[in-house]
Chains A and B, each alone.
Chain A
Amino acid sequence: MSVQSRVKKSADNFLKYLIRDYQIYLILLPSLAVVFIFCYMPMYGVLIGFKDFKLKDGILGSAWVGFEHFGRFLTMGQFYKLVRNTFSISLYSFAVGFPLPIVLALMLNECQYPKFKKTVQMISYAPHFISTVVICGMVLLFTNRSGGMINNIIEAFGGERINFMIEPGWFQTIYVFSGLWQSIGFSSIIYIAALSGIDMQLIEASVLDGANRLQKIWHVDIPSILPTIIILMIFNAGSLLSVGHEKIYLLQNDLNMETSDVISTYVYRVGLVDAQFSYTTAIGLFNSLVNLVMLAVVNRTARALSGTSLW
């Protein structure tokens, strides 16, 4: 068969598939259009990070400046503070928010009173459905110096009242533990599901071999749910630099900025509020790329160490 006829044949084939599946493409079209417009067109817009973008000139008309904006960000006085806060908030969140749902799941799994277990589950899932704005509102109310519930408790136990929200030293702790309160129950669901899937024979065998409760948890339960743990760990690691700016933005104020300002809140403030479009686009791109690299590295490491990975 000549090359020409082979090309023609594959083109015919493609046309055949197109006709056979035209309804599939028809169904797919709106979804692809939305993704193209709202996900891929902004990626094209990333070009302005390398330009001196002016609204009247448009993306193509603005002058190129190369890596000037990246350089400006990397040498800026606040650079160190922003990166430090971003990393410390996300590592702190990870260190507290990742293992504790696993612990909760293991504890619930050991609980022998179904009604009590159900109650704990039902109540601990509930905060997950409260909105970020309301959670932050509750945080502000509870940490209030004169009338806040937390300060009332501190005083009842003989402590000093603390003005939490204006002390930079407290910000990250408040952020992390309010997040833990909100999500620990819901995050544990997936582990509880994995634990309930463990073969009873495995557990019985370990008991016959003389394992006590803690040994059973360590030698049967944890190894059984390890693949789930690793997959979720990779997911978490991929978003290490994209801390929840929606919540941070609501909780931060001029006085706790030293520990609360992160890359994404800076991008919002300087980019949209002060309209420095090019500069902040460059920062955003820097942030996304670091995330992407981080995800790939963690995924690869996880695959090498445990054979479990996202792709």
Chain B
Amino acid sequence: MQLFRSKWDKVVNIVNIAILALFLIVELYPLYFTLIASISDPYQVSLNNVTLIPNGFSLESYKEVFSDQGIWIGYANSLFYAVTGTLINLAFTLSCAFCFARKPAFKGKGIVTGLLVFTMYFGGGLVPSYLLIRQMGLLDTRWVLILPGALSVYNMIIVRTFYQTTIPDALYESARIDGCTDIGMLLRITLPLSKPIIAVMTLFFAVGHWNSYFGALIYVTDVSKQPLQLVLRRILILDDVLSELSLGSFSAEAMKDMVQKQALAVSMKYAVIYVASLPLLIAYPFVQKHFVKGIMVGAVKG
């Protein structure tokens, strides 16, 4: 666009680029620093000798991360929750949206819509939910992280809008004339024609499951069922890294050993950040445009 050519506009342009460049650095540097800190020599990191390029090279921190049993259990659990949870989310959300998009509207649609939308703005709250889950005997089960959020009303509305705006009614009508049932239409017409929105929803749900921790914190105390985020909380927030670290002996040898261990503990934190985000980092470049598309669909007022 070469619409603006005056001197003043050129100044605005340069200032704009400069600010954006600065912004880019601010967004990128923390991610970059974490990466170089995780692969540098832990001792150099502890001396603040790492700023722009890695100092020394050591994968000791990653070795430490992978030797932590908890991380592996958490990883496996999180994969399970993300896969199962996403499948169940999809089943509920895609099918429910179909009911609301179908024409003619089913009897009671207005009331049901109202009841669903109401839950977006009002809820029983933390404590009544906890008591209910407890009463149902769902505490410390895997279901508790999958079932309560099975239907996402917000995403359901986005999917419904997609169905309504992209699939022509004539298709349904001709199918109905040919004797197709509602379930048949959902499976043979709606879903095959909705691949883009299914991709977007899969990503939304999977990221949501992978990143959530609070539900597990409240409902799952059994370590063998805890997701990765709780393991990360123990390492990154509660600082429970080197439990074997003892302050008992103060010989020079022990002190040196301790300093090194402490440095390693910090490096391990930097490493664990990348290990935990790995699935998303790998997927990110491929899915970036889908996320954007998903937001656009949601932006269409429905």
A277 touches B24 (CB 8 A): no
For residue A26, which residues in chain B have a CB less than 8 angstroms away from its CB?
183
| Interface residue A76 (Cβ < 8 Å from any Cβ of B) | no
For residue B20, which residues in chain A have a CB less than 8 angstroms away from its CB?
107-108, 111, 116, 120
- Interface residues of A, dominant DSSP: helix
| Interface residue A201 (Cβ < 8 Å from any Cβ of B) | no
C-beta contact mask, A7-31 vs B, less than 8 Å → 1, else 0? 0000000100110010111111011
| Interface residue B79 (Cβ < 8 Å from any Cβ of A) | no
| Interface residue A1 (Cβ < 8 Å from any Cβ of B) | no
For residue B121, which residues in chain A have a CB less than 8 angstroms away from its CB?
238, 291-292, 295
Q: Restricting to A135-168, which residues have a CB under 8 Å from any CB of B?
A: 136-138, 140-142, 147, 149, 152
B127 touches A126 (CB 8 A): no
B273 touches A138 (CB 8 A): yes
Q: Tell me the minimal C-beta distance from A171 to chain B in angstroms.
A: 15
- B124, B181, B272, B284: which contacts A46 (Cβ < 8 A)? B124
B236 touches A38 (CB 8 A): no
B211 touches A193 (CB 8 A): no
| Interface residue B164 (Cβ < 8 Å from any Cβ of A) | no
A41 touches B132 (CB 8 A): yes
A133 touches B127 (CB 8 A): no
C-beta contact mask, B9-50 vs A, less than 8 Å → 1, else 0? 100110011011001101110110110000000000110100
Given contacts A14-B107, A45-B128, A214-B12, contact A130 B277 (CB under 8 A): yes
| Interface residue B125 (Cβ < 8 Å from any Cβ of A) | yes
B34 touches A138 (CB 8 A): yes
Q: How far is it, in angstroms, between the C-alpha of A18 and the C-alpha of B8 when the chains are bound?
A: 69
C-beta contact mask, A246-285 vs B, less than 8 Å → 1, else 0? 1001100000000000001001100110000100110011
A152 touches B48 (CB 8 A): yes
Given contacts A39-B123, A45-B124, A134-B277, contact A24 B237 (CB under 8 A): no
Q: How far is it, in angstroms, between the C-alpha of A134 and the C-alpha of B99 when the chains are bound?
A: 38
Given contacts A212-B6, A212-B9, contact A24 B106 (CB under 8 A): yes
| Interface residue B224 (Cβ < 8 Å from any Cβ of A) | no
Q: Tell me the minimal C-beta distance from B221 to chain A in angstroms.
A: 12
**What are the 8 tightest A-B residue pairs by CB atom distance, in nearest-first order?**
A42-B124, A137-B236, A45-B128, A284-B125, A131-B211, A23-B182, A42-B128, A31-B96
What are 29 inter-chain pairs, A to B, with CB distance below 8 A?
A: A14-B107, A21-B182, A23-B181, A23-B183, A27-B96, A28-B99, A34-B151, A35-B115, A35-B116, A38-B132, A111-B17, A119-B24, A120-B20, A120-B23, A130-B277, A131-B213, A134-B232, A134-B277, A136-B236, A141-B236, A147-B266, A189-B291, A193-B295, A194-B299, A213-B9, A249-B214, A250-B233, A277-B131, A281-B125
